[in-house]
Structure 1
């Protein structure tokens, strides 16, 4: 498996970290009865649970584009040092994004998002 596909696999694992971080916090804050129930009253949007939910949603807004770009680069044999760096930048910026969002760090969180988008665009640009 080449490096770009390895980063894709790691990005799947990172998505699970985002999901489990939210799940653990919501279980602790709302309790097992709420998490086992139908949740008709909606998701908590306050505090750490709300920030983790928004971070996870944001990850899922960008990840499909990253995955598609990586897979297309592989299928079209457009992988290069540029796509390797793009994958690396996307992944590590998204790693940084989670705690920055969870702890409510302004500006740096936005910077991490912008850097992750730079990595994604680097992979995408290799397709043109």
Structure 2
């Protein structure tokens, strides 16, 4: 199962492999404190992230452009696909919006890729559903 969770939420055993998928390190979190792998290269480009936060791009546009970026660089997300295929994967993000963020888009992307490669996988879960 691939879950999305705020980096500020407490770690749980059910999280499985935890991966921070933001380009910037989250505020007020020490690197020693966070028990997670950090893959900043899988995050949306700085320009796309800034346009989304400024409101220049809505979530639908952000999703389309981010998915284009993911298509162009499979080497960035391929390790996550392997982790998800082996067990539980939690994508960590720092944003306050639990439904409209890069981790949600990435989780759906990974689920789509897993579905293309084999039998249907388990659904994506979000922090609110736990």
TM-score range, shorter chain: under 0.3
Greater helix fraction, Structure 1 or Structure 2:
1
Look at both structures and tell me which one has the larger radius of gyration over its CA atoms. Answer: 1
What TM-score, normalized by structure 1, do the two folds share? 0.26
Q: Which has the higher contact order (CA 8 A, sep 6+)?
A: 2
Greater strand fraction, Structure 1 or Structure 2:
2
